Chains A and B, each alone.
Chain A
C-alpha cells in the first residue's frame, strides 16, 4: 500500500479504529517505513500527553458528598414506589372488598364476595415477606408438598412452551376449608391459582374471565374441585393459565 494512503490512516491506527486486517497492514508498513513509524510514535506520545494533561480537575469533597446525597435521595423515594405499587392494588382490593361486602349485605352475588376474599389473599401473599411455603419451579416438587396438608389432590400443568413460570405454593383457607394456593409468574406479574373442594354452590359462576378494578378472575369446577385464577393481568393471560389447568392430566 502506498505510503500516502497509509498516512491517511495514521490517526485511525493509533486510535484503534482500523479493522484488524487494516491494522495488520499498517503495522507491517511502519516496520518498513521510518517516516510513518516516527509519525506513529509522535501520535502515540501526543495521545498519552493529552490523556495525562486532560485529567486535570477533580470535584471537591463537598460537591461529591452533595451529589451522592442528591442521587441517592430519589433512589430511596423511587424504591418506595415499589411498595406503593403493591399497596395500591391492596387498597383497590380493600375497596373491592368493601364494595363486595355491601353487595353481600344486600344479598347479591356471593361470588363477588368470593372474588374479594381471593383477591385479598392474592395481594396479601404478594406483600408478604415469605409469600410461599414451598419454593420451587418444579411441579413435581410442589404437588407432593401438599400431601397430608389438604384433603384432596390435584394436577399441575406442564408449562413448557407457555409464558408462565411456577414459583411455589402454600396452603390457603377459604370459608375455613383448606386448599392450595399456587403462585405463577408471567412477565413480572404474579398470578394466584386457588384450588378448593367444590362446595356445591347452586349458582356456579361464569367460567369466563371477569374483571374487577384491574384484577381479573376466572373460576371453574373440575372433578369435584373449584379452581380460581386471580391476578392483575389481562383476561387472555388468565384464560391461558386456566386452560393449562383444565387440560392438566
Chain B
C-alpha cells in the first residue's frame, strides 16, 4: 500500500531530454580530451564536441535506453571528426611521418621521472596515425572493453585486437626511439 505524497505521472515526454543531459554531461571532459587528441587543436576540438552534442541530442530519440550511451557518443564524435574538414585533412593511412621532437637525451635516472615519461609518451601518441592513436586512447584512457571499442569504431572485435596490437607496437617503437634503444619500454 502506498500512502506517501503523490503526484500524477503524466505521460513523461520530458524524460528523454532530462535523460540526455544526465547521461551526456558527465562525458563532457572525456569527449573533449578525445576530440582534442583527434584534432590536435583546441578550437577545432570545441567545434567537434559541440557538433557531437548537437547531433546526439537530435538523434537521442532513436537511442535505445539501456544500450551503451558512452560508446554511442564517442562513435558520433569520431564519425563527425572523420567527415569534417579536419577529418579529411588528417590521413588515416598510418603513414604519417615522425617529427623530430626537441632533443631529449634522458639519463637512466631521467627515465624514472614520470613527467619525462609522460611527455615522451604524449609526444609519441601525437605522432601516431589517427587509427592507432584513437584505439589506444579508447582502451587505455577511456578504459573501454574491446566490445565497446568495437561499437565506437564500428569494426569487429577481432579487428580491435589486431589494431590494438599494432598500435601498441607502433607506440613502443616510437618511445623506444626516444630512449635511443635503451629499452623497448622503461620498466620501473
**Residues of A bordering B, CB below 8 Å:** 11-12, 15-17, 38, 41-43, 45-47, 49-60, 63-64, 67-68, 70-72, 74-75, 77-82, 85-86, 125-126, 128-132, 135-138, 141, 167-168, 183, 185, 188-190
In this assembly, does B131 line the interface, its C-beta being within 8 Å of a C-beta of chain A? no
Is A45's CB under 8 angstroms from B186's CB? Answer: yes
In this assembly, does B63 line the interface, its C-beta being within 8 Å of a C-beta of chain A? no
Is A52's CB under 8 angstroms from B187's CB? Answer: no
In this assembly, does B36 line the interface, its C-beta being within 8 Å of a C-beta of chain A? yes
Is A54's CB under 8 angstroms from B57's CB? Answer: no
In Å, the complex CA distance between A128 and B6 comes to: 11
**Which applies to chain B's interface (DSSP): helix, strand, loop or mixed?**
helix
Is B53's CB under 8 angstroms from A11's CB? Answer: no
Given contacts A17-B146, A168-B6, contact A72 B21 (CB under 8 A): yes
Residues of A within 8 A of B7 (CB): 129, 131
In this assembly, does B80 line the interface, its C-beta being within 8 Å of a C-beta of chain A? no
Most chain B beta-carbon neighbours within 10 Å: one of A78, A131, A136: A78
Write out, one digit per residue, whether chain B residues 29-47 have a CB within 8 A of any chain A CB (1) or not (0): 1001100110000100110
Query: Shortest CB–CB separation between residue A92 and chain B, in angstroms?
Result: 14
23 contacts between A and B (CB under 8 A): A11-B164, A15-B145, A17-B145, A38-B187, A41-B187, A51-B143, A53-B117, A53-B119, A53-B121, A53-B122, A54-B137, A56-B37, A57-B36, A59-B28, A71-B25, A74-B17, A75-B20, A79-B18, A82-B10, A128-B8, A131-B6, A135-B3, A136-B3
Most chain B beta-carbon neighbours within 10 Å: one of A42, A45, A56, A126: A56
Tell me which residues from 1 to 19 in chain B have a Cβ below 8 Å from any Cβ of chain A: 1-14, 16-18
Q: Please report the number of residue pairs spanning A and B whose Cβ atoms sit closer than 8 angstroms.
A: 162
Of A47, A81, A138, the residue contacting B140 (CB under 8 A) is A47
Tell me which residues from 27 to 79 in chain B have a Cβ below 8 Å from any Cβ of chain A: 28-29, 32-33, 36-37, 42, 45-46, 49-50, 53, 57
Query: Shortest CB–CB separation between residue A23 and chain B, in angstroms?
Result: 14
Stretch at the interface among B82-90, B100-108, B165-173: B165-173
**Residues of B bordering A, CB below 8 Å:** 1-14, 16-18, 20-21, 24-25, 28-29, 32-33, 36-37, 42, 45-46, 49-50, 53, 57, 114, 117-119, 121-122, 125, 136-137, 139-141, 143, 145-146, 161, 164-165, 168, 171-172, 184-188
Is B4's CB under 8 angstroms from A49's CB? Answer: no
Of B18, B32, B114, B186, the residue contacting A75 (CB under 8 A) is B18
Residues of B within 8 A of A60 (CB): 42, 46
Residues of A within 8 A of B46 (CB): 59-60, 63
**Which applies to chain A's interface (DSSP): helix, strand, loop or mixed?**
helix
Given contacts A17-B146, A79-B14, contact A190 B185 (CB under 8 A): no
CB closest residue in chain A, given B46: A63
Is B53's CB under 8 angstroms from A71's CB? Answer: yes
CB closest residue in chain B, given A72: B21
Is A188's CB under 8 angstroms from B11's CB? Answer: yes
Is A138's CB under 8 angstroms from B125's CB? Answer: no
Is B1's CB under 8 angstroms from A53's CB? Answer: no
Given contacts A11-B168, A68-B25, contact A141 B140 (CB under 8 A): no
Residues of B within 8 A of A137 (CB): 1-2
Residues of B within 8 A of A167 (CB): 6, 8
Given contacts A17-B146, A79-B18, contact A56 B140 (CB under 8 A): no
